């Protein structure tokens, strides 16, 4: 069968460096760090005392207090970012078939904020089992997609993808596949995460996954730097409207870019560590390029997973060099996690947005906080250190890799009609 073309017609973002898509992109291009001391709780006894929290964000500006009570913060973030994307795209059940518009939304952890608070309240109580009646529907990871569909009346396919830090890339790939197979006209897709709480910081500290550079939070996320020592936890959401091209064209929609491929793989190696030779990363990039019928020498930019961990950055770089060979030196590579922190299940969404904007604007956002070259990494590769670079970006690849060995990548191209 002939596959349909899939385009991006709406974008929404909520991050530590911007509370909407335009602010987010401006923060990326200007190399703004979102890391700062934690304000959400007293972190003085934790090994890591900083994170990439949302700033100047008041949920009361977006969601009525009565509705807030039914939502964990990860769902609140989903509602805000998705509404921005829906408005940006001009999607409405008044003019489009609601049965042909779906929602696939991701979260790696879901309502951990709600779970922590409810369990803590029970333990600190008198032993009587008193739980909030919204405890379960606030906590479950699939509830954000349900809430989005209920608010906007979208009755197409509706579910959540969970694959750790690859979750929202998987959601984008699933939406892409439904549309190109002709099973839907449009999807709201992306992901959200709200894990900057005691359980989140404490849990990742116990894994020794987080940076502990408390004396300089703004420089703590330093992918590919010799002195990197862990990632910075972030929070927020990213939303995309994916739409079948002819459907978008017929209604005169603005088009940011075209999605042409998606790929997945597994490391089958370790619960938290990457394959040391980047085998899963290598396979997922090859799978994605094959799915998009693209040669390696056509890719201009890779938004890498690039978490700022000692092992992960090396493994991904090895994979890039094996996949792209000599063309690896013509690529721009950057990790926007150096600015946003690591949004876990929402990382793929906001990083796909960065890749789409890069294609749309012909600008590659930087990898900030580079101070010292790592002798284990090839210094001839262009990691786009510290400053954004202008170049023609026709094709961009976005990589995400998650605990459990889950890998997912998505490929976008400049829209040319």
Residues labelled catalytic: 165, 305, 342
Bridge partner residues of 241 (DSSP): 10, 188
DSSP secondary structure, 250-291, as one string: HTT----EEEEEEEEEE--S-SSSPPTT-HHHHHHHHHHHHH
The structure tokens listed for 288 are 């994605």
Order of strands, edge to edge, in the sheet holding 101-106? Answer: 158-161, 101-106, 186-193, 236-244, 6-14, 257-266, 406-413, 395-402, 301-303, 332-334
396 pairs with which residues across the strands?
A: 301, 412
Q: Which of 102, 113, 35 is nearest to 74 (CA)?
A: 113
Residues written for the chain: 417
Token pair for residue 268? 């089958």
Kindly give the pairing relationship between strand 158-161 and strand 50-51.
Answer: unpaired
Contact 260, 410 (CB under 8 A): no
Q: Which residues partner with 398 through β-bridges?
A: 303, 410
């Amino acid at each position: 069968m002939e596959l349909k073309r899939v385009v991006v017609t709406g974008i929404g973002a909520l991050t530590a460096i911007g509370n909407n898509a335009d602010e987010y992109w401006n923060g990326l291009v200007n190399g703004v760090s979102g890391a700062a001391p934690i304000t959400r709780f007293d972190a003085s006894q934790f090994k890591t005392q900083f994170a990439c929290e949302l700033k100047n964000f008041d949920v009361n500006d977006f969601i009525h207090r009565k509705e807030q009570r039914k939502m964990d913060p990860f769902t609140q973030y989903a509602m805000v970012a998705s509404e921005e994307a829906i408005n940006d795209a001009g999607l409405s059940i008044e003019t489009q078939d609601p049965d042909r518009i779906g929602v696939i939304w991701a979260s790696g952890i879901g309502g951990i904020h709600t779970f922590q608070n409810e369990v803590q309240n029970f333990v600190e109580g008198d032993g009587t089992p008193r739980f909030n009646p919204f405890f379960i529907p606030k906590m479950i990871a699939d509830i954000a997609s349900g809430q989005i569909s209920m608010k906007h009346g979208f009755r197409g396919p509706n579910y959540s993808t969970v694959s750790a830090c690859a979750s929202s890339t998987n959601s984008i790939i699933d939406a892409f596949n439904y549309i190109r197979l002709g099973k839907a006209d449009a999807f709201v897709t992306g992901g959200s995460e709200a894990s900057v709480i005691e359980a989140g910081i404490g849990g990742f500290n116990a894994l020794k996954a987080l940076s502990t550079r408390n004396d300089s939070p703004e420089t703590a996320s330093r992918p590919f730097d010799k002195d990197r020592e862990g990632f910075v936890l972030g929070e927020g959401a990213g939303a995309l409207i994916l739409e079948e091209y002819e459907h978008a064209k017929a209604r005169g929609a603005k088009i940011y870019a075209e999605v042409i491929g998606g790929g997945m793989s597994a490391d089958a190696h370790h619960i938290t560590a990457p394959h040391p030779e980047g085998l899963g990363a290598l396979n997922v990039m090859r799978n994605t390029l094959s799915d998009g019928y693209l040669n390696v020498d056509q890719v201009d930019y890779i938004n890498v997973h690039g978490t700022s961990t000692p092992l992960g950055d090396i493994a991904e770089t090895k994979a890039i060099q094996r996949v792209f060979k000599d063309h690896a030196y013509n690529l721009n590579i950057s990790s926007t996690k150096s600015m946003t922190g690591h949004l876990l299940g929402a990382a793929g969404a906001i990083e796909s947005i960065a890749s789409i904007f890069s294609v749309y604007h012909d600008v590659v956002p930087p990898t900030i906080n580079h101070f010292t070259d790592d002798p284990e990494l090839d210094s001839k590769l262009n990691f786009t250190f510290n400053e954004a670079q202008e170049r023609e970006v026709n094709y961009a690849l976005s990589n995400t890799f998650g605990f459990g060995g889950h890998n997912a990548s998505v490929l976008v191209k400049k829209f040319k009609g």
